[in-house]
Amino acid sequence: MVEEVAHPENNFQFSVFSYIFSKQPYIVTADHRLVTSWHFLFLPSEHPNIVFVDSLEGVQATSKWGLWNEPCPPPPPHPPFVIRDCGEKGMGMFARRSIARGELIILERPIYVTQPNVSVHPDQQRTFYEASLAGLSSATQASFMSLRNARPETQSESPIFGRILTNALAVKVPHSKVRFPGLFPQLCRANHDCAPNAHYFFCAETFTGHFYAVRAIAAGEEITMGYIDPMASREQRQSLLSAKYKFRCTCMTCELPPARVLLSDARRQAIAEYFLGMKDTGSKFPKDATLPHVKDLVRWAEEEGLVEGASILIMSGLRLAQRDGNHSEMLKFTADAVNYIRAMEGNDSAGFAMVASRLGFSAQQLASIFDDGLPIDYTLFERMLAKKQV
């Protein structure tokens, strides 16, 4: 049975080859002639501004989350940034006023979430992507198409594909290890820096991308994020950025004098090796890890401006100290972990709750020790730890 498709909230007709798989929830095939018709589009009811592309099972699971019926949490009342043209980089995000470390810059819903590999034949790619774009309202389509396309070589396959490659940010959803590429009208305007001053993460509970300042940002300063593995050497980073995003990075770290680049590369490599060791052992610290070494790595990560790397190392240090029953080090690492997580993800984050649960506390209990602005109540913390016999 083939039925023509119109988005429930707009009058778009995808194509005569689209058909409705299900009206409740709204699931359609992009084009039933495609060999890859196992990719379906989910058009969340009353949200003509989101399209979710996945296998049928994927969109069926997604459609049951009910997140789409939740209103998007309101953004900060006066956005602390402007998006403007900045020459060779194209558009960029800039601080309208000074922004404090740990301040929320923007919170935004994606408009388009897709499978990492919608492996359709190049000839069919265009049909597929055009049908998926047509699932959006005309305003959202225009916003999508205004995003930068740094990959014009893909234009013949689809003008959409290049925009996905240029702009996608990871969307992580419950019960799936897949990092879905997601597009956001404003978040995708942030340019890259190898020591970024802001941190992006996706919150599945509210289905929004969050962007926090991880350093104090001065009025007029550019707000940046990291696109690639920051532990790579400068040469590797340059080649990754040039291959995928088609630009040469001229950030401060990349422009350091040669001797400083060597030092920066060596530090990043040492951190990468530690992470590899964690992966090898499948545990939170590598075999033979020692507290002094972790502390050196944390300091290097901080000096390199690698906030996310530093936070992972701090959590690893916390676990090492926990393994050794070293309460005073646990205290220091916990204080650092809380400090970092608050800067990267705000006060009520899942990360904060994770640190708390790691120590056997609730988020509220931990927050009571690390209340904003007050000196840390170490005695209380010691007492709580002793009670837990961590």
Ligand X SMILES: C[S@@+](CC[C@H](N)C(=O)[O-])C[C@H]1O[C@@H](n2cnc3c(N)ncnc32)[C@H](O)[C@@H]1O
Tell me which stretch binds ligand X (CB under 6 A): 86-94, 114-122, 340-348, 382-390.
86-94
Site string for ligand X, 116-155 (x = CB under 6 A): --------------------------------x-x-----
37 contacts ligand X (rule: CB under 6 A) = no
Q: How far apart are CA 69 and CA 107, in angstroms?
A: 17
Pick from 114, 167, 316, 349: which binds ligand X (CB under 6 A)?
167
Read off φ and ψ for residue 212, nearest 5 degrees: -115, 145
The CA-based angle 371-301-304, given to 5 degrees, is: 115
Within 287-316, the residues that bind ligand X by CB under 6 A are none
Which listed range, 6-14, 110-118, 188-196, 273-281, lies at the site for ligand X (CB under 6 A)? 188-196
Binding region for ligand X (CB under 6 A) out of 22-30, 98-106, 111-119, 183-191: 183-191
Write out the H or E segment, with its range, that includes residue 192: strand 191-192
Question: Does 245 interact with ligand X (rule: CB under 6 A)?
Answer: yes
Select from 188, 301, 312, 366 the one that contacts ligand X (CB under 6 A): 188
Candidate residues 249, 313, 355, 356; the one interacting with ligand X per rule CB under 6 A: 249
- Nearest approach, Cβ of residue 22 and ligand X (Å): 34
Q: How far apart are CB 225 and ligand X at their closest, in Å?
A: 9
Residues in the chain: 390
The SS3 assignment for 247 reads: coil
Q: Indicate whether 165 belongs to the interface with ligand X (CB under 6 A).
A: no
Dist CA 287 CA 193 (whole Å): 32
Per CB under 6 A, does 284 bind ligand X? no
Among positions 96, 126, 172, 246, the unique one binding ligand X when judged by CB under 6 A: 246
Q: Token digits for 185?
A: 């009208």
**Which neighbouring-strand residues pair with 217?**
99
Classify 217 as helix, strand or coil. strand
Task: Work out whether 197 is an interface residue with ligand X (CB under 6 A).
Answer: no
Q: 324 has which bridge partners?
A: none
Residue 235 corresponds to which amino acid? E
Task: Pick the closest to residue 221 from 120, 102, 93, 126 (CA basis).
Answer: 93
Residue 326 DSSP one-character state: -
Which residues contact ligand X (rule: CB under 6 A)?
Answer: 89-92, 148, 150, 166-167, 188-189, 191-192, 245-247, 249
